[in-house]
Amino acid sequence: MAGPRLQPEQAAKESLAPPDSRMQLEKPEQVEALKAKLLEQAQEISRLRCELAGTEAEKHRALLAAENERLRQEMKTCEGELLELRRRQQAPCQDCAHLQENAELQERLCQLQREAEETRGKLAELELEVQQKTNRLAEVELRLKDSLAERAEEEERLSRRLRDSQETIASLKSQPQQVKYIIKTVEVESAKAKQALCESQSRTQYLQEQVGMQRQVLKEMEQQLQSSQKTVAQLRAQIVMYEAELERAQGEMLEEMQAMEEEKNQAIEEAFARAQVEMKAVHENLAGVRTNLLTLQPALRTLTHDYNSLKRQVRDFPLLLQEALRSARAEISQAIEEVHSTNRELLRKYRRELQLRKKCHNELVRLKGNIRVFGRVRPITKEDGEGPEAASAVTFDADDDSVLHLLHRGKQVSFELDKVFPPQASQEEVFQEVQALVTSCIDGYNVCIFAYGQTGAGKTYTMEGTAANPGINQRALQLLFSEVRSKAADWDYAISVSAAEIYNESLRDLLGKEPQEKLEIKLCPDGSGQLYVPGLTELRVQSVEDINKVFEFGHLNRATECTNLNEHSSRSHALLIVTVRGLDRSTGLRTTGKLNLVDLAGSERVGRSGAEGSRLREAQHINRSLSALGDVIYALRSRQGHVPFRNSKLTYLLQDSLSGDSKTLMMVQVSPAEKNSSETLCSLKFAERVRSVELGPGSRKAELTSWPSQEHLEGDSAGASAPSSRGHAAPSPGQLSSRSASIRRKLQTSGKLRPVPV
Ligand code: ADP
Ligand code: MG
């Protein structure tokens, strides 16, 4: 292409090169040639312009742009399809087992999309490149346009000059004279033209070079375009491949989806069938439930009603509760008040009842007799010796603890007392029987407990006892202490003791500083008729230790007065006088009770002939005082108007404690030894006689009018040939009366009745 284009230019150059040789002849030809060349160049230029205007590059660009547009459209549709596919992919049931595959497909799709994206990027890059190249082409075109414009101008100028020259030549021709000159001018001017032509030729050459260069560039660009077209073709092939892949994936997906759909439909069908079956069952159930409901409806109605009423109740409950609580409180306080008043009333009644009970008890005691007689048989001891002498002459009734039998001179004599304690009876058992008497002294009663019996029969054992096994004295005081303690809430009590001894009708204070001093019994100077012993020591005791000290001191005093304590003690009466003074703090009531615990002298008979001197005197005193005691008890029990208290120191001293509401217990101690049977008989007779004085409202003045002395008892015992006729059963009052009467008769016939002092 460059060859034919350059030929006219070279021809023009050659034609212009040797201007001197052919100047004259060849000028018009030269001009013609120049014209032709110019025409050629113009044609070339227009051809070039044409070429430039419709370059293949532009066409390519346009094609590429169109192709790009198409690809974009395709991409868009692909994306739309992809979205649709995704949507449809997401639409099927979530629980499907093909989700995994779906995910894989999606992943592949993503990959494909990524690849498509990359291709798109590459395409964009290529487009950019094409754009750049287009821009550069446009620049080249502009530059080409400029150079063409310049060339056109030059041509214009040259053609103008050529025309001028031609005109000049013509005019010269017409004017031959002048022609030569003009020719010469023209020759001169053509030289200039030649120069200008040369210039324009060089310029044209330059432009041709430029065009060549542009062509080169264009060629390169074409090559680039070709390579980019190749790339585009590759990309397109890839896209096609991707599309195929996409189509395949889509197909697979569709198949999957179809399968899934089928599965789903099947599952739905199955579920539907199941649901229908279940539905049927449910319907059946429903029918049952409906019938149930129909039957339940009334119940429900009542329940609802109940519930509503309960709700109402619950709502009203706090109020009701409050009301109930209020009323309950009121009731309770009322009840408490009532209980209080009832309590007060009961307390009042109880106190009254207590008084009544006391009265009744006293009455009972009075009816039974204020004087009770117990018998206690000591066990056989070593002192009783061995053999037949030591054999027991006393037997007991297994069914009746108030009866005992004595074998005396081969005959059995039975006695009935208030109670009989056999040898095995313990100190405690004995005390249990007397404790009521002891406590009554707290209530203000005077009490006397005598231990009567021959020496060695157990009087001291019963009253004092041993350190290990104390007797009535210590137990009584202990009981008093505990009773006083239990009443301490209402009462103040003071317990004091005195210890005295009556020996040969002399009263001595065993707790005094001068025990040998003889005390007198005097009437109280206040005119109350009460007796008192001036100088008799009274010690306040509060504990067992205090009592033990008192006893010890008493014994010590007693012992200092005699050479043989045992003998002395058996010849004297030992008295322990306990005074209990009480004060009721609420009422101010004062009470004084006396408990006289008397260990009497031995009741044994002293041989009529054997005794003399002091021994005889002792015996006489003892005899007299014991007889006096018998007399007093008899007088008291038979409610005689006169009680001979003054006949002995003992009865005189105990006057207060023997009279009135006082209570007396005679504990008759006997030895079971056969050798003592005579003394035992005497003691039991004494006991029975004391007891057999029947008392009672209607028989006060009846019965015995006198009391046998110790001597009488002795005589009686000597002639006690007739054993008691009573059997084991408890005697009736009639029986007892008849026995008392027989005793009285016996005593009367023997002429030994002792005159009763009036
Ligand atoms: P009394 O005081 O009458 O002269 P005692 O009390 O001194 O007689 O008793 C004489 C003896 O008999 C004492 O050794 C005493 O311990 C004992 N004795 C008395 N009664 C009992 C008894 N119930 N149980 C055991 N021993 C007794
Ligand atoms: Mg004694």
Where in 283-355 does DSSP place strands (E)? none
- CA nearest ligand 1 atom 11, residue: 456
Asked if residue 669 has its Cβ within 6 Å of ligand 1, the reply is yes
What are the phi and psi torsion angles at 259 (to 5°)?
-60, -45
Ligand nearest to the CA of 565: 2
Query: Which residue in the block uniquely carries the two structure tokens 């990959």?
Result: 111
Ligand nearest to the CA of 376: 1
> How confident is the model over 426-447, as a mean pLDDT?
92
- CA nearest ligand 1 atom 18, residue: 458
- CA nearest ligand 1 atom 5, residue: 458
Mutating to test ligand 1, I would choose from 374, 377, 378 the residue with most ligand atoms within 8 A of its C-beta, which is: 378
Mutating to test ligand 1, I would choose from 461, 567, 599, 604 the residue with most ligand atoms within 8 A of its C-beta, which is: 461
DSSP tag of 419 = E
Cβ atoms 708, 378 nearer than 8 A? no
Q: DSSP letters of 83-115?
A: HHHHHHHHSS-TT-TTHHHHHHHHHHHHHHHHH
Two structure tokens written together for 330? 């009121």
- CA nearest ligand 1 atom 20, residue: 458
pLDDT of the residue at 562: 64
Cβ atoms 30, 15 nearer than 8 A? yes
pLDDT beyond 70 at 695: no
Cβ atoms 403, 688 nearer than 8 A? no
Cβ atoms 619, 595 nearer than 8 A? no
Two structure tokens written together for 558? 């007693």
Q: 412 by DSSP, 3-state: which? A: strand
Cβ atoms 637, 630 nearer than 8 A? no
Measured in Å, residue 462 CA sits from the centre of ligand 1 at 8
The per-residue pLDDT for range 522-554, each reduced to its tens digit, is: 988 887 778 889 999 999 999 989 988 888 888
Asked if residue 119 has its Cβ within 6 Å of ligand 1, the reply is no
User: Lowest-pLDDT range, 2-6, 283-287, 334-338, 570-574?
Assistant: 2-6
CA distances from 624 to 186, 300, 641, 650, 709 (A): 224, 107, 22, 10, 8
Ligand nearest to the CA of 453: 1
Measured in Å, residue 459 CA sits from the centre of ligand 2 at 5
Measured in Å, residue 396 CA sits from the centre of ligand 1 at 20
pLDDT of the residue at 143: 86
**Spatial separation of the C-alpha atoms in residues 575 and 519, rounded to whole Å:** 14
CA distances from 241 to 79, 112, 229, 249, 255 (A): 16, 10, 18, 12, 20
The per-residue pLDDT for range 161-202, each reduced to its tens digit, is: 888 878 877 877 776 665 566 566 666 666 777 787 888 788
Local confidence band at 561 (pLDDT 50, 70, 90 cut-offs): low
pLDDT of the residue at 748: 30
Measured in Å, residue 607 CA sits from the centre of ligand 1 at 23
Closest among 336, 351, 419 to 730, alpha carbons compared: 419
pLDDT of the residue at 434: 92
**Spatial separation of the C-alpha atoms in residues 693 and 407, rounded to whole Å:** 25
CA distances from 280 to 272, 273, 283, 667, 678 (A): 12, 10, 5, 108, 121
pLDDT beyond 80 at 142: yes
Long-range contacts of 69-75 (CB under 8 A, 24+ apart): 71/123, 71/236, 71/239, 74/239, 75/116, 75/120
Ligand 1 nearest atom to the CA of residue 425, by list position: 23
Cβ atoms 246, 74 nearer than 8 A? no
Asked if residue 381 has its Cβ within 6 Å of ligand 1, the reply is yes
Ligand nearest to the CA of 452: 1
3-state secondary structure 141-176: HHHHHHHHHHHHHHHHHHHHHHHHHHHHHHHHHHCH
Instruction: Say which residues have a Cβ less than 8 Å from residue 534's Cβ, sequence separation at least 6.
Output: 519, 520, 522
Asked if residue 572 has its Cβ within 6 Å of ligand 1, the reply is no
CA distances from 234 to 119, 207, 228, 237 (A): 10, 39, 9, 5
> How confident is the model over 444-451, as a mean pLDDT?
93
